[in-house]
Homo-oligomer: A and B are copies of this chain.
């Protein structure tokens, strides 16, 4: 059931022989290479196992996985599993971050036995961005309220600050003794030690939910953007290396495609602010940004009517497909009208601006009403983790 609006692999094959860069701004150009070269498996064969696939699944946005079957098994057998992710609390939630959050919320919702672990990397925010722990704590609370507004169930969620979680610090230190520089170079290329260090502590975040104090080994799913695969490989490698001592099960991962920034050239990322749409933007900001966005349109109306526009390089099309279309049929219609020249870029932008505005107004209301719940969740989590010993 290949659908036209799922970007074909052929359309993306401009070859990028570089190593994946989890810290970069460039987008992934060749998703098929991730499969052949790094062993990421396709999601498609597993789709029939989902009763109600999420839009990310049904639209091919979640395109790849490692050991996702282990999570579906846990859901089917009513066994505990964890969905984990994290954020560096340096600013507003943007649409790239929202994609991970959407996956987190969806996979948590599949079973009452699913728990979310959410790591707030405040030490990194301090080291990299000079943000005080007070500042990051405020930002983090707001970020948590964003996820709650997106549907996270706080009753099965644990949010923690890196600076307060000794278990992660301990694991990171243990791992730093167990890896070799060659192993890190093979995964990340030659990097400065600060990045290696951040990666090792992130592996600590990913593997912490399997510690004995937290109920022991269990399936853990990490939803990530395609460019973050190096972190997954490191965590899986460490899980194997420390299996005897900790009993770690290799963490599973699901990979989503990267959204284009509004400038059209890079992925949407905090590192290129102008191309960023955030959950904090006012409807007015959003309108302006989208109005100025790059599109896949042709040079003239005549040409566009004749050749159709290029949805595959268009960040405005990505807004529909990744976030704001009402349903799959809506995405398909936009794609069809765009690529056959029925729809022009101006009207296409107007339509999506309407959808974005509606979403933002509703989201802001929800989030504001959830700020206290976010604080409560953070306090509850801290008490829970403290009770598991350090």
Task: Give Cα A170 to B390, complex, Å.
Answer: 18
| Interface presence of A246 (CB below 8 A) | no
| Partner-B contacts on A (CB < 8 A) | 123-124, 126-128, 133, 163, 166, 169-170, 173-174, 176-181, 184, 190, 192-194, 196-197, 200, 390
User: Chain B residue with minimal CB distance to A180?
Assistant: B192
A193 / chain B contacts, CB cutoff of 8 Å: 176, 179, 181, 184, 193, 196-197, 200
| Contacts A133-B390, A181-B192, A192-B181; A126 near B197 (Cβ below 8 A) | no
Cβ contact within 8 Å between B133 and A173: no
B390 A174 Cβ-Cβ under 8 A: no
CB of A194 within 8 A of CB of B176, answer yes
Give min CB distance, A174 to chain B, whole Å.
5
Copies of this chain in its oligomeric complex: 2
Which among A133, A170, A173, A174 has the highest number of chain B CB atoms within 10 Å?
Answer: A173
Residue of A126, A163, A178, A192 most packed against chain B (CB within 10 A): A192
Known: A133-B390, A193-B196. A124 touches B181 (CB 8 A): no
Q: How near does chain B come to A90, taking the closest CB pair, in angstroms?
A: 14
| Interface residue from B133, B180, B197, B390 paired with A197 (Cβ < 8 Å) | B197
Establish whether residues B181 and A197, one from each chain, have CB atoms under 8 Å apart when the complex forms. no
Give 22 CB contacts A-B under 8 Å: A123-B169, A123-B170, A126-B170, A126-B173, A126-B174, A127-B176, A127-B177, A128-B177, A133-B390, A163-B170, A163-B390, A173-B194, A176-B194, A176-B197, A177-B192, A179-B192, A179-B193, A181-B192, A181-B193, A184-B193, A193-B193, A197-B197
A180 and B196 alpha carbons, distance in the complex (Å): 12
Closest B residue to A190 using CB positions? B181
A181 vs B196: C-alpha distance when bound (angstroms): 11
Note all chain B residues with C-beta closer than 8 A to A133: 390
Cα A196 to Cα B179 in complex, Å, equals 12
A181 contacts across to B, CB distance below 8 A = 190, 192-193
Is B192 a contact of A173 with CB atoms below 8 Å? no
Contact B174 A169 (CB under 8 A): no
Determine whether the beta carbon of A177 is less than 8 Å from that of B194: yes
- Given A123-B169, A123-B173, 4 further pairs, Cβ under 8 A: A127-B173, A127-B174, A176-B194, A178-B194
B-chain residues with CB within 8 Å of residue A177 when the two chains form the complex: 127-128, 192, 194
- Interface centre among A126, A193, A194, by most chain B C-beta atoms within 10 angstroms, is A193
CB distance from A231 to the nearest CB of B (A): 16
Contact call B390/A173, Cβ cutoff below 8 A: no
Q: Is the beta-carbon distance between A163 and B166 smaller than 8 angstroms?
A: yes
> Which residues of B sit under 8 angstroms from A179, Cβ to Cβ?
192-194
How far, in whole Å, are A184 and B191 apart by their CA atoms in the complex?
Answer: 13
Distance between A126 CB and nearest chain B CB, rounded to angstroms: 6
Question: How far does the Cβ of A23 sit from chain B's closest Cβ, in whole Å?
Answer: 12
Q: How far is the CA of A184 from the CA of B170 in the complex (A)?
A: 23
Q: Which residues of B contact A173 (CB under 8 A)?
A: 123-124, 126-127, 194, 197
Task: Provide the residues of chain B in CB contact with A200, threshold 8 Å.
Answer: 193
